[in-house]
Chains A and B, each alone.
Chain A
Amino acid sequence: MTVHNIRVGETKRGDAADGALVEAVGGRLSRVDGPAKITGAARYAVEQQLEGLAYAVLVESTIASGKVRAIDSKAAEAAPGVLEVLTPDTIISLRTAADWFGTPPPDKPYCPLARDITFSGQHVAAVVAETFEQAVAAAAMVKVSYGETPAIVDLSDGKAGDGIPIDAMTKEWGDAAAAFASAPVRICAAYNTPREYQAPMEPHGLIAHWEGDHLTVWEPSQWLDGMARTYAEWFGVPFENVRLVSPYVGGGFGSKALALGHGAIAASAAKMLGRPVRLVMTRAQTFTGYGGRAATRQTVTIGADHDGKIQSIVHRGVNETSIEGMWVEPLGSVTSIMYATPNFSSKQNVVRVNSVVPGAMRAPGENPSAFGIESAIDELAYEVGIDPLEIRLRNYAEQDPHAKKAWSTRQLREAFAAGAERFGWARRTPEPRSMRDGNHLIGWGVAAGTYPVRRAYGEAIVRILADGSVEVESSSIDMGQGTYTILAQTAAETVGVSGDDVVVKLGDSRFPRAGVSGGSRLAGVMTGAVYKAATSALDQLIGLAISDPRSPFHALQANTLVVAKGRITAPRGDGPDVSIAELLKSVGRVHIEATGDTMPANSSAEDRYKNYTTIAMALPHTEGDYSRHSWCAHFVEVRVDEDFGTVRVSRVVSALDSGRLYNPKLAESQWKGGIIMGIGQALLEEGIVDRRHGRIVNNNLADYLVPTNADIPDIETISVGIPDPHSSVLGGKGVGELAIVGIAPAIANAVFHATGKRIRDLPITLEKLI
């Protein structure tokens, strides 16, 4: 369990927007967990010190396809300190758990160690020893022999084929083919994105500890309740018997939302040995132990008239998935809503290849989708000779072209205007290669991005304690996005206490429940839950003060009272002025407690369980009368060395609409993080496969390149959002994923403007430009 309050001197330096208190909602409060992280005081999940801890190390397949013929573990078993060698034959039998939709699983056992190999790096065995070093050494002694079969290496493999059509992804209106055929201007191009990896600073790992049939798991998690359910189902114990603890999360980017095979292995080992077991992946294992972003291919064809008005968009997408698992990266998600078009067709296939099943990575779907459509519209702009910003405005979608519903709010026009103004877009010379500084070709590019507002459920307890302080509890998490901070702000403002007097506790599944921290939904959901709980705690407090005969306000016969800065007064100030602590003492209460949630009223216990442990009940972003999305416009300057082909981003101005910001400082930081990750995606990141072995060879952070400080220019972000009451209780829309969407195409468009070369395969490395 981790506790954070605002009582940290440094955290008050932020300036309050619109003169509000820094610690109120909308204030620029610094992260309350920051000092603990910077000083090293923060203790992460796998740093728990437990009596009798044993260490597990994974053994992975060295072939991409085939069968495990035999595992010779004799030497490993005899090695010093070894407690257990887990193989498919020795590991305890688990049950298959439901997927994240909660779909009832097939009634068959689940074995996290593979006999049938479908990718290189698959877990085939694990060694548990008294020390980590002993386990590492013994794991290297496990001899696995294989019967190898040919692998399908990736999407370009001749054996890969066209894949499986995913009908649910089909979106069509009008007659796109006919309209394209008769359009006076036609463009058609293919866009590819490679495998990319979340590469969180903190690698995946856990400590699993059984006490009888109760399991405690310390594990970095984006979703305690979802993961606890999975563990419970694997081991056939009640949900209540599993406790997940995740005090801090060192980055997830989508990769820490689900319980994964290594977790099942560690928890099995702990059960078999009757000891707590720690398992932490090596950096190399994080490239195959779970999935990064799937490689994708898209073709985008646009038919338009000579004014650049779009008549038809035909989009075909393919993403890779694994041999056994199914991952659909929705490639038509941005294509179908960004621009108004009377005719549209989008279809998608998935292709099975010998890789780990891909997974969620910051804006899955929207991110590659935007690379396609936002590059294609740029190509159209040059084709018809219209400014790339102007063509976007000409095709502005006044309503959701797919759902045919009004936008809840769409400040995209405002984003284009604000970004262009600040960037100085009007000074751009349209011709490619027309801007230069010495050896550097300079290019300016624009692209838009969007991310849907996903809404789900959360609950929280707010307690007003005897000393007048306020305590918030929720099983939601903080992976760096600022949950501790904004929930403290919400409670402080709602109850009417100073920020110093709020303590937020997160990251323990024993607390009131919360859905997944993914899809940029947590802030909107949890501020809503805390707001509701805090409001009802406040109501109780005021109710007591008015009606309890022992209250100093009793004689006043007031309808209501004011609570501010921890003191209670009458609205006109004509009565007593007492602190919350004094009031509670006078009425003889130790605390006031209220629960709040964002669930529909009268939800059954079963519904609640489903809401918090699956994503099945999440509300579609087009539910009801509105279509809800965040929006952004990126303006990017690149400098391309003409001789060397090296691309450096020298300026970024992004204007973003995330609705109301609960804390602008943290929102800006999330946006900038997205933009930085997008720069990596555009210029550096790519999992490189050895085609003969079906293995990722750059599985380390020296060879899988993410941007360094030196690669990142000053980034300016401008908030153009307005409160969106249809999106969340307090009016915010998603923040975390939005800004990565559209950065890669903005950079590719800028590279085209600089060089006249259109790069449609990410990343844009130097050999593509020399």
Chain B
Amino acid sequence: MRDFSYLRATSADAARQAAALPGAMLLAGGTTLIDLAKCGVAEPDTLVDITHLEGLDRIEIDERGAIIGALARMGHVADHADIKSRFPAISEALWQAASAQIRNMATIGGNLMQRTRCPYFRDPSNFAACNKREPGSGCSAIGGVTRGHAVLGTSEACIALYPGDLAAALVAFDAVVHLGDRRIPVDDFFLLPGTTPDKEHAIEPGEMITAIEIPASAAARRSTYLKVRDRQSYEFAAASAAVGLELESDGRTIRDLRVALGGVATKPWRARAVEEALKGKVLEPETVRAASLLAVEGAVDHGANHYKIELAPRVVARAILKLGEAA
């Protein structure tokens, strides 16, 4: 039997120290980690339970922005009145994610760290080749079932999708990850697969996410998260868009625009080209649709996931237009 030890951390520092040891992993809500342990993907020697650490589940909001503790539950953040009013895209991304039961268990820190749903990654006994799991072993997905794989940010080593919703919203609003005292923009926190798909985050052993900071902005206040999928609930995105919009005082010219994509890329994907193309333009359906095509510039499909390239710009355009209408 694969024994492992379970350690209940008494402080953030103790957690960090314990988690720095080889084979140790932080345990938050467990909805990703326990699942992967059952699949035989995660094989921790030590689980360092951080769920009881005090103060890490706080949600603090003032005019500068929001600081969300790493242990805040997805459900709590989604329901938080100030998050809903000042960062609607954050709330919407969360409540459209997973299921009510999972949102009640899962934490914000764990949510950022969730792993890909690539079926080959999740089934080591049947598919030995997976560069993300076993660097250098190859990629079983390429040439296989790719309907749920990424079209942006892929490499020859790995085409796995980053499936999370929240991170797309965070990257749109320039959120910053707090690793104790170290701060790192969310966009830099997530790494492209390149030749090292096993390395997904700019986090080192002994580091722990303590909070997420989201700067306030007019665009964040007027924002939305649009998630498209075959099943109405409890499914990862076929394509999604986190969009924030600020208009000039004329009510039609775009002053600030934030666009990020979920469900299509190997990491939460900021679509700056769309933003730049539309800033200063009058918000018109045709202009928006044309600019939204830039969201998938450079996209590469692997057959069955081609539809994502068609779909993503339409999701972006709909989200922008919806915000425009809600003036």
Contacts and interface: CB of A to CB of B under 8 A. Distances in A.
Interface of A: 62, 79-81, 120, 131, 133-134, 137-138, 140, 439, 641, 643-646, 648, 683-684, 688-693, 695, 697-698, 702-703, 705, 707-711, 763, 765-767, 770
A767 B307 contact: yes
19 contacts: A62-B125, A131-B1, A134-B1, A138-B1, A140-B125, A439-B318, A643-B314, A643-B317, A644-B228, A683-B230, A708-B232, A708-B233, A708-B234, A710-B233, A710-B234, A766-B238, A767-B307, A770-B307, A770-B310
B2 interface: yes
Given A62-B126, A439-B318, A705 B307 contact: no
Contacts of A707: 231
Interface string B275-310: 000000000000000000000000000000011001
Nearest to B125: A62
Contacts of B231: 684, 705, 707-708, 710-711
Given A81-B1, A684-B230, A643 B318 contact: yes
B117 A646 contact: no
Nearest to A59: B125
Given A120-B126, A692-B144, A697-B145, A705 B314 contact: no
Given A692-B143, A702-B117, A770-B311, A648 B318 contact: no
B135 interface: no
Contacts of A140: 40, 125
A688 B141 CA distance: 13
A93 B295 CA distance: 63
B235 A695 contact: no
A644 B322 CA distance: 15
Interface in B88-133: 117, 119-120, 123, 125-127
Contacts of A644: 228, 311, 314-315, 318
Main secondary structure of the interface of B (DSSP, over half): loop
A648 B126 contact: no
Contacts of A692: 143-144
Nearest to B232: A710
A268 B268 CA distance: 51
A690 B145 contact: yes
B233 A711 contact: yes
A648 B228 contact: no
Contacts of B80: none
A137 B307 CA distance: 40
Contacts of A702: 117
A137 B228 CA distance: 39
A324 to B, nearest CB: 21
A643 B1 CA distance: 51
Main secondary structure of the interface of A (DSSP, over half): loop
B147 interface: yes
B233 A766 contact: no
B230 A646 contact: yes
Contact of A711 (B2, B126, B232, B307): B232
B229 interface: yes
A299 B307 CA distance: 28
A766 B307 contact: yes
A693 B126 contact: yes
A705 B230 contact: yes
Contacts of A684: 230-231
Contacts of B2: 137
Contacts of B235: 705
B73 to A, nearest CB: 20
Contact of A80 (B1, B117, B144): B1
A709 B229 CA distance: 15
B104 to A, nearest CB: 17
B144 A690 contact: yes
Q: In this complex, which of B145, B235, B238, B307 has the most chain A Cβ atoms within 10 angstroms of its Cβ? A: B145
Interface of B: 1-2, 40, 117, 119-120, 123, 125-127, 143-145, 147-148, 228-235, 238, 306-307, 310-311, 314-315, 317-318
Nearest to B120: A697
A646 B126 contact: no
Nearest to B235: A705
Contacts, number: 87
A137 B144 CA distance: 29
**5 closest Cβ pairs, A-B complex:** A767-B307, A710-B233, A710-B232, A137-B1, A697-B119
Contacts of A710: 231-234
B163 to A, nearest CB: 10
Contacts of A646: 228-230
Q: In this complex, which of B40, B234, B306 has the most chain A Cβ atoms within 10 angstroms of its Cβ? A: B234
Given A62-B125, A62-B126, A137-B2, A765 B230 contact: yes
Given A697-B120, A710-B231, A767-B306, 10 more contacts: A120-B126, A134-B1, A137-B1, A641-B228, A645-B307, A646-B228, A646-B229, A703-B117, A711-B232, A765-B230
A464 to B, nearest CB: 47
B219 to A, nearest CB: 23
Contacts of B148: 703
Contact of A695 (B1, B126, B230): B126
A435 B117 CA distance: 38
B154 to A, nearest CB: 19
Contacts of A693: 126-127, 144
A429 to B, nearest CB: 26
B285 to A, nearest CB: 12
A206 B307 CA distance: 43
Nearest to A62: B126
A703 B231 CA distance: 11
Contacts of A765: 230
A641 B148 CA distance: 20
Nearest to A770: B310
Nearest to A61: B126
Nearest to A648: B232
Nearest to A79: B1
A134 B3 CA distance: 10
Nearest to B35: A702
A702 B118 CA distance: 12
Contacts of A648: 232
B40 to A, nearest CB: 7
B228 A766 contact: yes
A688 B230 contact: no
A138 B2 CA distance: 9
Contacts of B119: 697-698, 703
A350 B318 CA distance: 46
Contacts of B120: 697
Contacts of B127: 693
B291 to A, nearest CB: 16
Contacts of B234: 708, 710
A709 B233 contact: yes
A140 B124 CA distance: 11
B1 A133 contact: yes
Nearest to A703: B119
Contacts of B314: 643-644, 770
A375 B3 CA distance: 56
B101 to A, nearest CB: 12
Contacts of B315: 643-644
Contacts of A698: 119, 145
B147 A688 contact: yes
B230 A766 contact: yes
B100 to A, nearest CB: 11
Q: In this complex, which of A80, A641, A697, A710 has the most chain B Cβ atoms within 10 angstroms of its Cβ? A: A697
B136 to A, nearest CB: 20
A642 to B, nearest CB: 9
Contacts of A683: 230
B18 to A, nearest CB: 23
A134 B145 CA distance: 33
Nearest to A702: B117
Contacts of B230: 646, 683-684, 705, 763, 765-766
Contacts of B306: 767
Contacts of A708: 231-234
A646 B144 CA distance: 24
